[in-house]
Structure 1
Amino acid sequence: MPTNPPPAPPRRGGSASGPRTVLVLGAGLAGLLAAAALAPYADDVLVVERDAPDPASVPDPARAPAPAGGTRAARRGLPQARHAHMLWSGGADAIEALLPGTTAAWLGAGANRVPVPAAMVALSPGGWYRLWPESHYLIAASRPLIDAGVRSRLLAAHPNVRFLYGAQPTALVGCASRVHGARIRCADGTHTEVPACVVVDATGRGSRASHWLAALGLPPVACETIDPGVAYATRRYRAPAPTKDWPVVTVQADARLGGPGRFGTVLPVENDEWLVSVCGSRGGNPTSRNEDFEPFARGLRSPLVADLIARAEPLSDVVLTRSTANRRFRYEKMRLPAGFLVLGDAACALNPVYGHGLSVAAQGALAVRDTAAKAAGRIGSPGFTRRAQRALARPAAAAWLLASGGDLHFPGCTGKSPTALDDLAQRYINRLIHTATGNHTATTALTEVMTLRSGAGTLLGPRVVWAAVTGPGQPRLSGPPLPPAVAEVLSRDPLPEIRHR
């Protein structure tokens, strides 16, 4: 687990250019973690956010969990907050390193710590995985709870962090060689320029950073896009059994079967609720109609997700999101102006099917903090943000390979055609996935990479390659390995169909 940062150098009350102010654009998870990463080395951190939080609808880890069926509000600028999110151990460890005590706050508010693969009932393209002993874990909670836990720990740990709600950035202030702040439109329609020694763009998929940089005279930033046309539909359910110790259930697509890829996940969250997400690639999208949700789930490679939700009471209508393309701006490869960073989905947005967005943002923020520590806290120095941008791009690279490698092979994927090297890599991954259905070494290696505890190079270790050569070693499971609680729920009669409308 990453260690805590060394003590920040004494604050000098400013410099020749004024106080060390950090301006963070966006108060989503990436923005909150960017503030946590830089607050020890700044006099003042201002987080600018367009959407005001609603204390009545956002769960607060400092209080008891909301009653079952309580409101789960999503910020207008974060529609994906209503969908299932997996915070893998690589990301959760990074958040804990940045803000110690966050995990305890989540768990105290009802989030679940799910041991992986011990409580992961998963159908891979190669078959059902076995429930091997725990090697990793994930945090299962609603997105509002995850963000609220980080926000509360941030404010408790760093009193120099302030929030400006109802405002949004419209331009960078500076020139091609140095950014000195940003121009902000306030809630009353007025504009102001906020000076800063570091500006962090954490505004997500809607980032305007490439346009802001062009206005400063910089050349276009290289951008890669891989879009399998995935639509993502989610419905919230009252779980028919307590969600503590309940597994994550996931049915994955297999691109080798031809036709659109379809996925489904049952995530046990706080208040004994399930967040159930289904998605399909181009030509096989789900709809936003309640009556279509269970039939779509029944069309997955296994009916397990549909069988579970047939025995659970819906608590919400279906919500649908289509903004899911993999898109990576290569800011680390251009000469960015000093004083400017791009973090999270604004730099690298991933297909949410793989559940890596939160973890990539967290590891990127941790890389920024470590870069600041190595610079002895001199975050205003000319080379700091360029080094930090290169550092935060590294954890995104592994997640990009996993997402793009799988998505390239679905019919109708746009943005890039798979090369011979892509095909070779995918065949090796498919062989490893097949091997992992009955081989603990292959399972552990794939889980190590999937949870972002290590890079894709782990899959090329001698023991892993040998496992891929020799194969699973155990017979393929004929059906899902069901923990007793899951088997008990499935033994019940489905609820009347009218309750699912």
Structure 2
Amino acid sequence: MLTARVLSEVTDVLLIERDVLPEGPESRTGLPQARHTHLLWSGGADAIEGLLPGTAKELDAVDAHRIPLTTGMVALSPQGWYRRWAESHYAITCSRDLLDWVIRQRVLREAGNRITVMERTSVVGLTGTSAMVTGVTIRREDTGEEDTLLADLVVDASGRASRTPQWLATLGVQAPAVREVDSGLVYASRLYQAPDELPADWPIINVQANPRGDGPGQGGVITLLEGGRWLVTLHGTRGGQPTKDADDFPRFARKLRHPIIAELINKATPLSPVSVTHMTANRRHFYEKATLPDNLLVIGDALASYNPTYGHGMSVAAQGAVILRETIQGYGWGSPDLARRVQKAIAKPVSTAWTFATGTDVFYAGATDTGPTVGERLAAAFVDRLSYTATGSGPIARALTDVMTLRLGPARLARLGVLTRAVVGPVKPALGEPPLTSEERAAVGL
């Protein structure tokens, strides 16, 4: 939708959509990971605000939550509990259905008749040659009829299920290199009605897995949604995965590195069955390094998909739409090699998110055929040291958050001040318990 909005500024857009888009914030089949925890980091939220000014106010009006970071996060890292430092960034939490609806309404309203949505329609192939894509072949799901649509630019925003590598092969184009890091992570999520007296600024609760501990990595997160609900997601890697058994859900939470999530859901009321997904592998197609035909651009999860634990997918997609707009403004619509320029530029935020996700997941047994590379081990050791320092150093916590929220790139962590503080280590002692306030503890009876 964000990409369609950008393109509607310079041309007419056909948006091919397999689903029937609902009129309100309702579930639909093609919305990825919608039953599981989503975070919109400030780097992504700012990108959306730049494309659709006023979106933050609209989200606030429908009860989405702006969570200050790290003030509004209670997180147990492998190196210990993080402190809740003064706000430097933020995250937005709400259901994925709500976020999708708000953005869709804004885009279609502002673009007017420049965007045409073709619902219940699937793309089944690319048309053109190895030198230039000229359009797509579509199939209408209600009739089975196929047709060809011509276009000046074809954008694949079809997500993890993208078939662009196969379609390129039919044009005689070699598929790009692919890197996959699969920790075997399984997500299990359930909605709860939170306790009635919950503070309006209730924090994100995050018990992180330890990729270099004994046995599988297990963790969980609680985020506050609209309507005073909690979305609770538990996760575990091979040999320690959660199930869809509702009775097993609190038992699994009790086995985490700290029982805080189990203690909290014991105070809440279940509202849904347990939803499970196995689609958590990190997979990156290096389209920016491939020789692609003109007029083809791949974005979002079709380009790179990440372990959802890190919450980067939506933010990277939003930043990709901003890069598309900036490139069009800089070089002009229809300029030579426009798609290639955008593809290469998008690789920058993709690489940041990819480094965070795979730098952790690669250490789980079976995540790759060869295990961590020397470079990955060195990078992980550096990040571990920063994370340990961040448990007792506000400046280092901010530096990590600068990058985690995609506000800045990894070079932020290589600055002299950061390196010096990492050598010194934390300046405050380790916390023994989760840093909940007395008001928060009283609200949930802890």
1:249 equivalenced with 2:205 (yes/no): yes
SS in 2 for 1:50: coil
In structure 2, C-alpha distance between the alignment counterparts of 1:397 and 1:243, rounded to whole Å: 37
Residue 160 of structure 2 corresponds to: 205
Residue 316 of structure 1 corresponds to: 272
Match runs of 1:351-500 below 5 Å = 351-376=307-332, 378=333, 380-491=334-445
Match runs of 1:41-56 below 5 Å = 41-42=10-11, 44-55=12-23
Deviation at 1:393, TM superposition (A): 1.4
Residue 59 of structure 2 corresponds to: 106
In structure 2, C-alpha distance between the alignment counterparts of 1:470 and 1:203, rounded to whole Å: 46
- Determine if contact 2:198/2:440 at 8 Å carries over to the other structure: no
Deviation at 1:78, TM superposition (A): 2.9
SS in 1 for 2:288: helix
Cα deviation code 1:443-483 (max 9, x no counterpart): 00100111011111111111111111001011001101102
SS in 2 for 1:279: strand
Cα deviation code 1:367-404 (max 9, x no counterpart): 1111111113x2x3331000011111110100000100
Residue 295 of structure 2 corresponds to: 339
Amino acid at match of 1:388: V
Amino acid at match of 2:292: L
- Determine if contact 2:198/2:444 at 8 Å carries over to the other structure: no
In structure 2, C-alpha distance between the alignment counterparts of 1:336 and 1:183, rounded to whole Å: 18
Amino acid at match of 1:314: P
In structure 2, C-alpha distance between the alignment counterparts of 1:244 and 1:416, rounded to whole Å: 47
From 102, 106, 114, the equivalent of 1:149 is 102
Deviation at 1:422, TM superposition (A): 1.3
- Determine if contact 1:441/1:463 at 8 Å carries over to the other structure: no
In structure 1, C-alpha distance between the alignment counterparts of 2:228 and 2:83, rounded to whole Å: 25
Residue 17 of structure 1 corresponds to: none
SS in 2 for 1:257: coil
In structure 2, C-alpha distance between the alignment counterparts of 1:164 and 1:123, rounded to whole Å: 45
Structure 2 unaligned residues grouped into runs of 5+:
none
In structure 1, C-alpha distance between the alignment counterparts of 2:16 and 2:370, rounded to whole Å: 35
Structure 1 unaligned residues grouped into runs of 5+:
1-31, 60-72, 493-501
In structure 1, C-alpha distance between the alignment counterparts of 2:129 and 2:431, rounded to whole Å: 61
Residue 132 of structure 1 corresponds to: 85
Residue 230 of structure 1 corresponds to: 185
Residue 10 of structure 1 corresponds to: none
From 74, 81, 89, the equivalent of 2:27 is 74
Amino acid at match of 1:95: I
The count of aligned residue pairs is 443
TM-score by length of 2: 0.97
Amino acid at match of 1:35: A
- Determine if contact 1:89/1:138 at 8 Å carries over to the other structure: yes
RMSD across aligned C-alpha pairs, in angstroms?
A: 1.2
Which stretches of structure 1, 4 residues or longer, exceed 3 Å deviation after superposition?
none
In structure 2, C-alpha distance between the alignment counterparts of 1:40 and 1:256, rounded to whole Å: 48
Deviation at 1:79, TM superposition (A): 4.8
Amino acid at match of 2:9: P
SS in 2 for 1:411: coil
From 217, 222, 234, the equivalent of 1:266 is 222
SS in 1 for 2:430: coil
From 230, 235, 254, the equivalent of 1:298 is 254
Match runs of 1:18-29 below 5 Å = none
Deviation at 1:425, TM superposition (A): 1.2
- Determine if contact 2:51/2:322 at 8 Å carries over to the other structure: yes
Deviation at 1:414, TM superposition (A): 2.5
SS in 2 for 1:46: strand
1:326 equivalenced with 2:282 (yes/no): yes
In structure 2, relative to structure 1, the CA distance for the partners of 1:439 and 1:362 (3 Å cut) is same
In structure 2, C-alpha distance between the alignment counterparts of 1:297 and 1:272, rounded to whole Å: 21
After the TM superposition, which of the residue ranges 407-416 and 312-321 deviates more from structure 2?
A: 407-416
TM-score by length of 1: 0.87
Deviation at 1:415, TM superposition (A): 4.5
1:177 equivalenced with 2:131 (yes/no): yes
In structure 2, relative to structure 1, the CA distance for the partners of 1:102 and 1:416 (3 Å cut) is farther
Identity %: 46
From 177, 194, 199, the equivalent of 2:149 is 194
Residue 87 of structure 1 corresponds to: 40
- Determine if contact 2:199/2:440 at 8 Å carries over to the other structure: no
SS in 2 for 1:327: strand
Amino acid at match of 1:146: L
Amino acid at match of 2:73: M
SS in 2 for 1:82: coil
